[in-house]
Amino acid sequence: MKKFKRHWIGGAFALSMASLMVACSDDTAVDSDEVPADENGEETGDSEEAVSSDGGGDLIIAIEADAVDLNPHGSNDTASTHIRTNIYEGLVQHDENMELQPGLAEDWEQVDELTWEFQLVEGVEFTDGTPFNADAVVANLERVNDPELASPRSFMYEMIEEVNAMDEYTVEIITEYPFAPILAHLAHDAGGMISPTAIEDEANGEHNIDVDPVGTGPFVLDNWVQGNEIVLTRNEDYWRGPVALDSATYRVVDEQLTRIGMFDTGEAHIVNAIEPANVGQIENSDSGDVSAVESLRLDYLGFNNTVEPLDDPDVRLAISKAINKNEIVEGIFQGYGVEAIGPVSPMAFGFSEDVDPVDYNLEEAEQLLADAGYEDGFSVELMVQSGNTINTQMAEVIQDQLSQLNIDVSLQQTEWGALLDATDEANYEMVMLGWTTVTGDADYGTHALFHSDNHGPPGNNTFYTNEDVDQLLDDARRETDDEARVELYRQVAETVNEEVPLFPIVHDQFRAGVSSDVEGFIQLPHGVFDLRETTVSSDASDGGY
């Protein structure tokens, strides 16, 4: 039985700083008061783009997909994370080098192999005026692990056995077993602290955290026109001091060339998800340049392990061996990505070079398919996010390459939300997907994707089940020796490369076009934008912003 104690059970503890670790729809409008629109159905938020002369301006960001929800314990998608990390904060946070830094906890100490103590920052308030304190931490970790909530992110905190409020600003976390990446997990978006008042009001049916977020971060939600834009405004009472930007507007523009056009004409300061073939258009623009960072991302071909003939590992291996990754990486990514030899990025803890990749070998692929009884091939659908040019290009190459095995691949363009629903429910055959090891630790990059406890929304969208892999992943979570953990993750990579529940293709870089009028913008290796130091030149208003 997990225990979450809200009362204080002791005096303050003198804590010493532990060494820092390297981690890791419809068109309804909704605003922070849950009023979607005025009586005429018109958008109610202020979307003025003019930059104020005495502020940091309104930063316009063109993104490829809308958020699914703004609840840290909700959807596990990147688009939602982009927004939530500006509204919510965790006990610890990653810097641009993916090293852990203090967040809402100013200090922490590992007392023993199961126990951690955190000293919280004093005087912080949520944007609804609720004090941030130890009780707030208890309420949040209780919520994410609540079976009735069924959070798809509970796998990140399920090892927590007790959370104790020792005094107003001291929290004790006790895990069921030694868990080396606990700090990295607390720095994840899922560790964002929600106002306990909002949590209680939601339980009473009086609040919807999915669309009405209440955090302690530098921004607050001003307006959300679903499928169109999300407007964040500066939190004037931010405990670290208000940020420079007046607001940040995320405009949903799924067509990449349209985003680039907005950059050229000054309609957007930052444009996300620029494919390598179009980098030159940004570089040759008078508006700005390209920001490209090595990433913790994996792009892969996912197989539904529950449908014929993809439930046969030999069929999956045959398909994988017929795909020439080098042709994809060189032709599509043009030097901006590296071939994946397994599921873990070279940037993440737990990566091992001593993994045998799935090599391209058409003859072996033909023999495997014949031995499995499919020498004449078969037909299969490959689901791709509509508007995602890179994934579509990869899918088209795969479609062409698999024709050599007489496998007839039909491409199914699907809107992002519908694609997530389909993969969560195993209602597909093959799919182009990506996964970012946001924590910087291989636990997040493997446990979510391959453990049988995580079928569906938590990340195992292939519905892969292997008891030996489950045990390896459980052992790796409990292991405290770094070298031993790396070896366990190497064994995981070897096993999944043999059974290929998914086929790792590339570790892509993150690329964005950034206006020359923008300063202090940081793109993190897990893809999220850090806007805390960002400013927009006041001259931008003269350029049509």
Asked if pLDDT for residue 412 goes beyond 60, the answer is yes
Residue 102 confidence class, pLDDT cut points 50, 70, 90: very high
Domain 3-24+90-203, CATH: 3.90.76.10
Q: pLDDT value at position 522?
A: 93
CATH 3.10.150.10 fits 297-508, yes or no: no
Residue 419 confidence class, pLDDT cut points 50, 70, 90: very high
Q: How many CB atoms lie within 10 A of CB 334?
A: 13
Q: In whole angstroms, what is the distance from residue 470 CA to residue 460 CA? A: 12
What's the pLDDT tens digit per position in 151-167? Answer: 989 989 999 999 999 99
Q: pLDDT value at position 231?
A: 98
| Residue carrying structure tokens 């930063």 | 59
Q: pLDDT value at position 12?
A: 30
What's the pLDDT tens digit per position in 504-543? Answer: 999 999 999 999 999 999 999 988 999 999 999 844 434 4
Q: pLDDT value at position 416?
A: 86
**Rounded CA Rg of the chain:** 23
Residue 4 confidence class, pLDDT cut points 50, 70, 90: very low
Q: pLDDT value at position 55?
A: 59
Asked if pLDDT for residue 332 goes beyond 70, the answer is yes
What's the pLDDT tens digit per position in 338-371? Answer: 999 999 999 999 999 999 999 999 999 999 999 9
Domain boundaries, the chain: 3-24+90-203, 219-293+511-543, 297-508
Burial 437-450 (b: 16+ CB within 10 A, else e): bbbbbbbbbbbbbb
Q: How many CB atoms lie within 10 A of CB 254?
A: 20
Q: What is the 3-state secondary structure (H, E, C) of 81-116?
A: HHHHHHHCCCCEEECCCCEEEECCEEEEEECCCCEE
Is residue 166 a contact partner of residue 6, using CB atoms and an 8 Å limit?
no
| Residue carrying structure tokens 């045990």 | 471
Is residue 466 a contact partner of residue 478, using CB atoms and an 8 Å limit?
no
What's the pLDDT tens digit per position in 264-319? Answer: 999 999 999 898 999 999 999 999 999 999 999 999 999 999 999 999 999 999 99
Q: pLDDT value at position 49?
A: 39
Q: How many CB atoms lie within 10 A of CB 483?
A: 8
Q: pLDDT value at position 448?
A: 93
What average pLDDT does range 60-73 have in this prediction?
95
Mean pLDDT is lowest, of 93-97, 227-231, 357-361, for 93-97
Residue 544 confidence class, pLDDT cut points 50, 70, 90: very low
**Helix, strand, coil percentages in the chain from 3-state DSSP, rounded to 5:** 30, 25, 45
Query: In whole numbers, what is the pLDDT of the chain averaged over residues?
Result: 88
CA-nearest of 94, 143, 111, 127 to 15 is 111
Is residue 126 a contact partner of residue 132, using CB atoms and an 8 Å limit?
yes
Q: In whole angstroms, what is the distance from residue 323 CA to residue 327 CA? A: 9
Residue positions counted in the chain: 545
Q: Give CA 293 to chain center in angstroms.
A: 16
Q: How far is CA 524 from CA 93, 172, 275, 533, 535, in A?
A: 12, 29, 18, 13, 17
What average pLDDT does range 489-499 have in this prediction?
98
Q: What percent of the chain has pLDDT over 90?
A: 81
We find that the CATH architecture of domain 219-293+511-543 is 3-Layer(aba) Sandwich (3.40)
What's the pLDDT tens digit per position in 208-223? Answer: 999 999 999 999 999 9
What average pLDDT does range 102-129 have in this prediction?
98
Q: How many CB atoms lie within 10 A of CB 129?
A: 10
CA-nearest of 113, 121, 119, 171 to 142 is 171
Q: In whole angstroms, what is the distance from residue 435 CA to residue 444 CA? A: 10
CA-nearest of 119, 123, 170 to 16 is 119
Q: pLDDT value at position 23?
A: 30
Q: In whole angstroms, what is the distance from residue 170 CA to residue 177 CA? A: 22
Residue 78 confidence class, pLDDT cut points 50, 70, 90: confident
